[in-house]
Structure 1
Amino acid sequence: MTRILIVEDNDMNLDMLSRRLKRKGFDILTARDGRAGVDTARAETPDLVLMDMSLPVLDGWQATREIKGDAETAAIPVIALTAHAMDSDRRAAMDAGCDAFHTKPIDLAGLLAQIDELVPG
């Protein structure tokens, strides 16, 4: 079963996305800030990380840099989840090491396609 770490500080977004992905058969881990996201990625080595970019403690850009900069977690695909939809936001996420970019509100079909592309079943 594919394990996905969702790093999201908004309770409603976290609950909604977790429930929807669990119904699709994914095993879900969660973290509510960037530091906890990095720590969970290191401890649990999920198959994929869904990273909100506007997070407390450590923002999603820096959290992604830390995940991608660690040999133990560098290969884990990271999808940026953000309400910031400008091209510059996409570039910043990709420059931080994200493998894909998805804007909020979440289009579940589109997100599932990105997950399938990054974590072949």
Structure 2
Amino acid sequence: MARKVLVVEDNELNLRLFCDLLRAHNYAVEGVRDGREALDAARAFMPDLIVMDIQMPHVTGIELMEAIRADAELAATPIMAVTAYAGKADEERARAAGADAYVSKPISLMRFVEAVESLLTVGRTDSVPAKP
């Protein structure tokens, strides 16, 4: 059975790119554009990995990661934060909220796939090197 990845990204082009790329690598993918729907989608889909945009309207990726880590069923799910903000403080904030990896945009497609594969291999027990 294919590993499942939930992609939470408000930008339609990025969402389509990430979902298409993951499907091309044989992952089962569900995309969510509105962060307000992300937690319910994660509970219904029960992904093996969550790819999370940080800057979204209505609810931030930071808030969503904190909610996921507080959810007994989802707490162990690895999360890869993907953001255009690449400052050290931004990465520290994302990791403190529960990100297992932090990848900045614009993203290298190869690096993106490598980070996904690494997180699905090591899970939550180890952090993945974040920067390309």
Tell me the TM-score normalized by structure 2: 0.87
Q: Identify the residue that residue 42 of structure 2 maps to in structure 1.
A: 41
- Residue 117 of structure 1 and its aligned partner are, at CA, apart by 1.7
Matched, 1:75 2:84: no
In 2, the alpha carbon distance for the partners of 1:10 and 1:53 equals 11
In 1, the alpha carbon distance for the partners of 2:107 and 2:119 equals 17
- Residue 85 of structure 1 and its aligned partner are, at CA, apart by 0.5
Q: Identify the residue that residue 18 of structure 1 maps to in structure 2.
A: 19
State the identity as a percent.
Answer: 37
SS at match of 1:9: coil
* Structure 1 runs not aligned, ≥5 long: none
In 2, the alpha carbon distance for the partners of 1:39 and 1:58 equals 14
Aligned residues: 121
Tell me the TM-score normalized by structure 1: 0.94
Q: Identify the residue that residue 60 of structure 1 maps to in structure 2.
A: 61
Q: Identify the residue that residue 90 of structure 1 maps to in structure 2.
A: 91
In 2, the alpha carbon distance for the partners of 1:34 and 1:95 equals 19
SS at match of 2:121: coil
**Aligned structure 1 segments of 4 or more residues deviating by more than 6 angstroms:** none
- Residue 42 of structure 1 and its aligned partner are, at CA, apart by 1.3
- Give 1:5's aligned amino acid: L
- Residue 90 of structure 1 and its aligned partner are, at CA, apart by 0.4
In 2, the alpha carbon distance for the partners of 1:38 and 1:102 equals 21
- Give 1:120's aligned amino acid: T
**What is the root-mean-square deviation in Å for CA atoms of aligned residues?**
1.3
SS at match of 1:106: coil
- Give 2:86's aligned amino acid: A
- Residue 119 of structure 1 and its aligned partner are, at CA, apart by 0.8
- Residue 33 of structure 1 and its aligned partner are, at CA, apart by 2.0
- Residue 88 of structure 1 and its aligned partner are, at CA, apart by 0.6
In 1, the alpha carbon distance for the partners of 2:48 and 2:23 equals 14
Q: Identify the residue that residue 3 of structure 1 maps to in structure 2.
A: 4
Contact 1:33 1:59 in 2 (8 A): no
